[in-house]
Amino acid sequence: MDILVEGVSRIWPGRKGTSVTALQDFSYHFRSGRFTCLLGPSGCGKSTLIQIMGGIEDATSGSVRVVDPAVTSRARPLGRDSVMVWQTLNLFPWRNVLDNVAFGLEMQGMPRAQRHAKARALLVSVGLRGFETHLPGQLSGGMRQRVALARALIMARPIMLMDEPFGALDAQTKIVMQEELLRIFDETRKTIVFVTHAIEEAILLGDEVIVMTARPGRIKEVITVDLPRPRSLELVSTKAFGMLFDRAFHLIREEVMKSLEQQAAMLEEAQ
Amino acid sequence: MKLSARGRRILELTLPALTVVAFVAGWEAFVDLRGIAPIYLPAPSSILEYLLRMIADGSMGFNLGVTLLRIFAGFAVAAVAGVLVGVVMGMSRIAARVADPWIAALYPLPKISLIPLLIIWLGTGETYKIVISAVSAFFPIVISAYSGIRQADQGLIKAAKDLGANRRQVQMKVVIPAAIPSIFAGLHLGMGVTIILVVAAEMIGGSGQSGMGYLLIHAGQVMETEKVFASLVVLAVMGALVIKAQQWIDRRVAPWTALHDGH
């Protein structure tokens, strides 16, 4: 499923008639079965963008439409085509692992036995067999992350939107989860949009890396990552990876500096 | 003084009990040596004697039972009404707007000041005791339930919608369960208030001639200080047991609240 983002802006009203433009005239054609990373300094509006793409936030102007190029060339408004994996995970703390994963199917009215069977199968595939009756609060960060992934995957929607999902994990767990996600991508070939501020992560995972500018967020440059799949962490030490990293790093360094200046100016204003 | 880990553990377990024993023994010795009149301060041994006698003749069991029944009746009314109104307020802006001035005006009013009015209206029978305790417990329960619903994690609500939950499903499957810890906190507060008001109503109304409050005030009036102390001990134990039971129910119904991080 392609996602057509056209002229999307988001303006937050501020105090005393001022306003903050988080995102300005963002347009991009996300292609089916591709893994696209949104890379940018904090506050560049990349999270806002992915929320708008998921229909969770409204854009101030512009549109998000989807089209399945294998079926038609007519784009239609965004419906239930995507599912979000959240930075804060947002697991339901009172539901055990099985009922967290089966939540979406329960909402559709699928009978209990059927949805539990599906959830169980998915839990096996993300390595959580035997934890069905645990509560999220009883799990480690990496395990909770897997529950969140399974809960999204069970929806079988063509697009998966991921908003810095591994941001809170420790370095080792993060590596394991990245490899897990690479495997899932190779198996399902969903259209994935992945927000991150980690350059290495963006290049390791993505087919394209959209480098965004500091606020207001726009596209600075799109880097095509033509490294072969299936990928694994060993890729990081290759020369091709190093060159892509350098390129992304130079692009993003300028933006990080700009972002820091903006933050300093805002602090001064506040004083 | 150096202690092994084992020694420390034993000390940690026994010291609290030892302090209680030491306090009671000191009390006994103090009353005994100074020859203090039992009217002012009876010895623990004679308090125990009275307590056992009151248990044996059935007066303690009867009055405790009556008080517990009144507490549970008042609490049940307050819990059902409070949670219901709080949840409705949390879910409907109009309901919250309508209820807000009433709660703002009535919540700070000391409920005990309603006793004269309630006695005029209801007399000093059971209805009066249950109404005064239910009215008092209602407010902390309704406020906690309301704020629990209002403060439901927006992230969870967004996630549920993203996973296809409709408005009703979001409320039933996310907002209400998310409010349960807050609702339970309100029920704890409400139970504490109910106990206070039932005992106070028994002391003030008094036509029923029953209950722990009546027992206390009556024993005080006839200077049976041993009975006063025996009743206080029973009330303290009763309160502690009721709170423990509530905590046990909380853990059974909502085990996730004991885990500090559910996300």
CB A7 within 8 A of CB A27: yes
Read off the pLDDT band of B263 (50, 70, 90).
very low
Q: Is the Cβ–Cβ distance between A178 and A219 less than 8 Å?
A: no
Nearest to B181 by CA among B95, B128, B250, B239: B250
Spacing of C-alpha B134 from chain mean position: 12
Instruction: Find the angle CA(B87)-CA(B90)-CA(B93) to the nearest 5 degrees.
Output: 130
Which of A93, A108, A155 is opposite residue B263, by nearest beta carbon? A93
Cβ contacts (< 8 Å) between B160 and chain A: which residues? 92, 103, 107
pTM: 0.85
- Each residue of A9-64: pLDDT tens digit? 999 887 777 788 889 999 999 999 999 999 988 878 899 999 999 999 999 999 99
Nearest to B263 among A55, A108, A136 (CB): A136
Q: Are B195 and B71 contacting, i.e. CB atoms less than 8 angstroms apart?
A: yes
Query: Reduced to 3 DSSP states, what percent helix, strand and coil does chain B have, rounded to the nearest 5?
Result: 85, 0, 15
Distance from the B163 Cα atom to the nearest Cα atom in chain A, whole angstroms: 5
User: What is the mean predicted confidence (pLDDT) over B118-144?
Assistant: 92
Window 36-95 of A: residues touching B by CB (8 A cutoff) are 54-56, 80, 83-84, 86, 88-94
Q: Is A151 on the interface with B (CB under 8 A)?
A: yes
The rounded distance, in Å, linking the Cα atoms of A147 and A196 is 20
Contacts of B163 in chain A (CB under 8 A): 83, 103-104, 107, 151, 155
How is the beta sheet containing A61-67 ordered, strand by strand?
A19-30, A2-13, A61-67, A76-77
Q: Do B263 and A54 touch (CB under 8 A)?
A: no
Distance of CA B210 to the CA centre of its chain: 20
Rounded distance, CA A174 to CA A94, Å?
A: 26
Per the listing, tokens 């409709």 go with B166
DSSP secondary structure string for all residues of A171-189: HHHHHHHHHHHHHHHHHH-
Q: Quick one: average pLDDT of A206-217?
A: 91
Whether B164 and A135 lie within 8 Å, measured CB to CB: no
Q: What value of ipTM does the predicted structure carry? A: 0.91
